[in-house]
């Protein structure tokens, strides 16, 4: 630019700085008119569910008991943990009501995903169902595709790669982690599963949807 306008590079840099300009700066973006359209204008009479796996949730115990907080002292815990195994949670978040359908599995293959689709089908037998998912390979497995072909009321909508923030169930996973798992003392996989099940039951008693606040103009480049 300095060569083009006939001034020194220092003058160009000083001008950029004074005007708050940063031409070399870039940022990435991801968008999906499909998913955004579902959130803003869901099909009439249909159900929109955000679905994903929260993989390898760990059942963590502490090597020493927690020391509860007391006046002038925060809660104290050991930094090291005892690992008792993991579990995978598949969950479907209803964007209209906030209702969560969840099942835990020991693995996260296409077999488990197909079993979960059948759980959804049984829970909502009379709806056209639109699922928002990421591009994880189990969601596109030939066996899954064959089942979907036999169940045409299911419609899949994939978020862009590396755009998990667009899937509303990820927000719910974050709440689950903060409120039920992060501070937990879980001495077995069974205890972890019970904790997850209890949280889902409690959530559904006071459930609420999340408000999608990004307009297409804010998301699209």
What the chain holds in terms of domains, given with CATH numbers, is 29-67+75-219 (3.30.420.10)
Q: Are strands 81-94 and 154-158 parallel, antiparallel or unpaired?
A: unpaired
- pTM for the predicted model, two decimal places: 0.75
pLDDT of 29 higher than 60: no
Angle at 121 between CA 98 and CA 123, to 5 degrees: 50
Q: Are strands 128-133 and 154-158 parallel, antiparallel or unpaired?
A: parallel
Angle at 197 between CA 193 and CA 203, to 5 degrees: 145
Q: Which two tokens stand for residue 214?
A: 């990004």
The pLDDT tens digits of the residues spanning 95-119 come to 999 999 999 999 889 999 999 999 9
Q: Cβ distance 144 to 169 under 8 Å? A: no
Q: Cβ distance 189 to 61 under 8 Å? A: no
Q: Which two tokens stand for residue 58?
A: 């760990």
Angle between helices 110-123 and 142-150 (to 10 degrees): 20
Q: Cβ distance 175 to 202 under 8 Å? A: no
Q: Cβ distance 47 to 129 under 8 Å? A: yes
Q: Which of these ranges, 26-30, 110-114, 120-124, has the smallest mean pLDDT?
A: 26-30
Mean local confidence (pLDDT), 67-79: 65
Mean local confidence (pLDDT), 163-175: 91
Q: What is the pLDDT of residue 28?
A: 45
Helix ranges, the chain (H):
2-5, 9-19, 33-40, 110-123, 142-150, 168-176, 189-205, 216-219
128 compared with 84, residue with greater pLDDT: 128
71 compared with 157, residue with greater pLDDT: 157
DSSP secondary structure string for all residues of 68-132: --BTTB--B--S-EEEEEEEEEEEEEETTT--EEEEEES--SHHHHHHHHHHHHHHSTTSEEEEE
**How far is it, in rounded angstroms, from Cα 85 to Cα 57?**
8
Rg over alpha carbons for the chain, rounded to the nearest Å, is 23
Backbone angles phi, psi at 91, to 5 degrees: -140, 150
Q: Which helix (H) or strand (E) holds 58?
A: strand 46-62
Label residue 31 by pLDDT band (50, 70, 90). very low
Mean local confidence (pLDDT), 194-209: 94
């Amino acid at each position: 630019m300095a060569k083009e306008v006939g001034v020194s590079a220092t003058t160009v840099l000083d001008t950029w700085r004074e005007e708050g300009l940063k031409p070399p700066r870039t940022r990435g973006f991801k968008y999906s008119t499909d998913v955004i359209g579902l959130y803003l204008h869901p099909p009439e009479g249909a159900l929109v569910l955000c679905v994903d796996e929260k993989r390898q949730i760990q059942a963590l115990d502490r090597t020493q008991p927690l020391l509860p907080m007391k006046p002038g002292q925060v809660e104290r815990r050991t930094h090291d943990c005892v690992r008792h195994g993991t579990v995978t949670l598949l969950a479907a978040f209803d964007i209209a009501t906030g209702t969560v359908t969840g099942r835990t599995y020991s693995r996260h293959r296409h077999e488990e995903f197909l079993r979960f689709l059948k759980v959804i089908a049984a829970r909502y037998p009379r709806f056209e169902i639109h699922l928002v998912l990421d591009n994880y390979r189990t969601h596109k497995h030939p066996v899954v595709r064959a089942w979907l072909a036999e169940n045409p009321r299911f419609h899949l909508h994939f978020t862009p790669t590396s755009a998990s923030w667009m899937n509303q169930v990820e927000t719910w996973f974050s709440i689950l982690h903060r409120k039920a798992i992060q501070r937990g003392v879980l001495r077995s996989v069974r205890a972890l599963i019970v904790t997850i099940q209890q949280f889902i039951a409690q959530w559904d008693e006071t459930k609420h949807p999340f408000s999608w606040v990004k307009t297409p103009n804010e998301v699209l480049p």
